[in-house]
Structure 1
Amino acid sequence: MSEMVATAPSPIDLAGMVAQLYRLLNDRPDCPSQEEIRRACDILFSSSLLKEEGRPVRARVILAPPDAFPLSDGPPDGVHAIRFTTPHAFSSNEIKRLSPAASFFHSAVAVWPDRDRGLRIWGILNTGPRWMNLVAGGRKPASHSILHPIIHVRDPGWLLFYHDYQLIGEWRGREFYGPRLDVFQSRLLRERFAHLRLHLVQELGDKCLPQTLSQEDYSELCHLVSLQFVKRVINLVRTSGHGGTVVFLPSTGVDGDPFRWIDCKYTSESDEAGRRFPHLMKKIIRRVGQLCPEGSTIEDAWQVFRTSKDAELDRLEEAFFELARFFSDLMLVDGAMVLDQGVRVLGFGGEIQVSHNVFRVFQAHDLDGTVLTDWNVQSDGTRHRAVYRLCSVEPGVIGFVISQDSQVRMIANVEDSVMFWMHSMV
Structure 2
Amino acid sequence: MLSQPAAHRPHPGKLLSPKQAMHVYPSDLVALINQRWNEMPSPGESVTGGESAALPGKLALERLISTCYQVSMMREEDRPVTLRLILAPSQLFPSDQGPPKGFLRLLFSTPRPFNEYELRRLSPAVDFERSLIAIEPHPDKGFQIWGILNSGIRWLQEERGGNKKTNQLPDVFGIHVTGPGKLAICRGLKIIATLNGGKLIDSTANAFQSKWMNKLFAEERNNLLQLHEIFRASVLYPVARIQDEFIESLQFQLLKRVISVTRMSRHGGTFIIFPGANPEELAAENPYILLKYRFRHDEAVQRQQNLMVRTIRLATTVLGDIKDPDKIITWKDYVELRHESAVYDLAEALYEHAQFVASLASVDGAVVTSSRGPIGFGGMIVGSLDKLTEVALASDVEGKMLSLANIEGYGSRHRSAYHLCNALHQAMAIVVSQDGNVQLAKWRNGIVTCWNLTSQMFIGDN
Match of 2:273 in 1: 248
CA 1:318–1:111: 2 relative to 1, 3 Å: same
Match of 2:4 in 1: none
- 1:388 and 1:132 map into 2 onto residues whose CA distance is 30
| SS of equivalent to 2:314 | helix
Match of 1:6 in 2: 15
**Any residues of structure 2 matched to 1:322-337 within 5 Å, and which?**
322-337=352-367
Match of 1:77 in 2: 101
Verify the 8 A CA contact 2:26 2:66 in the aligned structure 1.
no
CA 1:385–1:254: 2 relative to 1, 3 Å: farther
CA 1:350–1:72: 2 relative to 1, 3 Å: same
| Amino acid in the other structure paired with 1:138 | G
- 2:382 and 2:237 map into 1 onto residues whose CA distance is 46
| SS of equivalent to 2:451 | strand
TM score, norm. by length of structure 1? 0.89
Verify the 8 A CA contact 1:137 1:227 in the aligned structure 2.
no
Pick aligned residue for 1:257 from 283, 292, 301? 283
Q: Report how far residue 53 of structure 1 moved.
A: 2.8
CA 1:333–1:210: 2 relative to 1, 3 Å: farther
Match of 1:15 in 2: 27
| Amino acid in the other structure paired with 1:186 | S
Verify the 8 A CA contact 1:277 1:320 in the aligned structure 2.
yes
- 1:180 and 1:54 map into 2 onto residues whose CA distance is 35
CA 1:150–1:291: 2 relative to 1, 3 Å: farther
Higher relative contact order (CA 8 A, sep 6+): 2
- 1:30 and 1:180 map into 2 onto residues whose CA distance is 22
CA 1:258–1:99: 2 relative to 1, 3 Å: farther
CA 1:298–1:145: 2 relative to 1, 3 Å: farther
Between the two proteins, what is the percent identity of the paired residues? 31
| Amino acid in the other structure paired with 1:230 | L
1:63 correspondence with 2:87: yes
Task: Map Cα deviations across residues 228-266 of structure 1 (whole Å, 9 max, x no partner).
Answer: 111111111111111110001252424462640211111
Match of 2:262 in 1: 237
Pick aligned residue for 1:137 from 127, 152, 161? 161
| SS of equivalent to 1:269 | coil
CA RMSD in angstroms comes to 2.8
Task: Map Cα deviations across residues 186-232 of structure 1 (whole Å, 9 max, x no partner).
Answer: 323322112112212323421369755324x2x43122111111111
Pick aligned residue for 2:431 from 390, 401, 404? 401
| Amino acid in the other structure paired with 1:108 | L
| SS of equivalent to 2:27 | helix
CA 1:340–1:84: 2 relative to 1, 3 Å: same
Give structure 1 stretches of 5+ with no counterpart.
none
Match of 2:403 in 1: 373
- 1:56 and 1:210 map into 2 onto residues whose CA distance is 57
CA 1:178–1:16: 2 relative to 1, 3 Å: farther
Verify the 8 A CA contact 1:22 1:33 in the aligned structure 2.
no
Match of 2:460 in 1: none
Match of 2:377 in 1: 348
Verify the 8 A CA contact 1:180 1:423 in the aligned structure 2.
no
Pick aligned residue for 2:412 from 368, 382, 396? 382
Match of 2:445 in 1: 415
| Amino acid in the other structure paired with 1:93 | Y
Give structure 2 stretches of 5+ with no counterpart.
1-9, 39-50, 457-462
- 2:220 and 2:436 map into 1 onto residues whose CA distance is 30
| SS of equivalent to 2:273 | strand
- 2:99 and 2:337 map into 1 onto residues whose CA distance is 15
TM score, norm. by length of structure 2? 0.83
Verify the 8 A CA contact 1:139 1:306 in the aligned structure 2.
no
Q: Report how far residue 154 of structure 1 moved.
A: 0.3
1:228 correspondence with 2:253: yes
- 1:102 and 1:127 map into 2 onto residues whose CA distance is 11
Match of 1:110 in 2: 134
Q: Report how far residue 414 of structure 1 moved.
A: 1.9
CA 1:278–1:210: 2 relative to 1, 3 Å: farther
| Amino acid in the other structure paired with 2:12 | E
Task: Map Cα deviations across residues 373-399 of structure 1 (whole Å, 9 max, x no partner).
Answer: 212111111112212221122111111
Match of 2:66 in 1: 42
Q: Report how far residue 149 of structure 1 moved.
A: 1.3
Pick aligned residue for 2:391 from 361, 364, 368? 361
- 1:379 and 1:107 map into 2 onto residues whose CA distance is 36
- 2:180 and 2:30 map into 1 onto residues whose CA distance is 20
Match of 2:148 in 1: 124
| SS of equivalent to 1:2 | coil
| SS of equivalent to 2:378 | strand
Match of 2:454 in 1: 424
- 2:101 and 2:270 map into 1 onto residues whose CA distance is 35
Match of 2:350 in 1: 320
CA 1:139–1:182: 2 relative to 1, 3 Å: farther
| SS of equivalent to 2:263 | helix
- 1:116 and 1:29 map into 2 onto residues whose CA distance is 21
Verify the 8 A CA contact 1:243 1:406 in the aligned structure 2.
yes
Deviates more, 1:112-121 or 1:325-334: 112-121
Pick aligned residue for 1:291 from 307, 318, 321? 318
- 1:49 and 1:87 map into 2 onto residues whose CA distance is 24
Q: Report how far residue 175 of structure 1 moved.
A: 4.5
Verify the 8 A CA contact 2:206 2:396 in the aligned structure 1.
no
Deviates more, 1:367-376 or 1:272-281: 367-376
| Amino acid in the other structure paired with 1:113 | P
| SS of equivalent to 1:401 | strand
- 2:452 and 2:235 map into 1 onto residues whose CA distance is 39
- 2:443 and 2:170 map into 1 onto residues whose CA distance is 39
Match of 2:48 in 1: none
- 1:102 and 1:414 map into 2 onto residues whose CA distance is 43
Pick aligned residue for 2:114 from 84, 87, 90? 90
Q: Report how far residue 293 of structure 1 moved.
A: 5.4
Match of 1:280 in 2: 307
Verify the 8 A CA contact 1:183 1:422 in the aligned structure 2.
no
Deviates more, 1:7-16 or 1:360-369: 7-16
| SS of equivalent to 2:408 | helix
- 2:87 and 2:193 map into 1 onto residues whose CA distance is 16
Match of 2:41 in 1: none
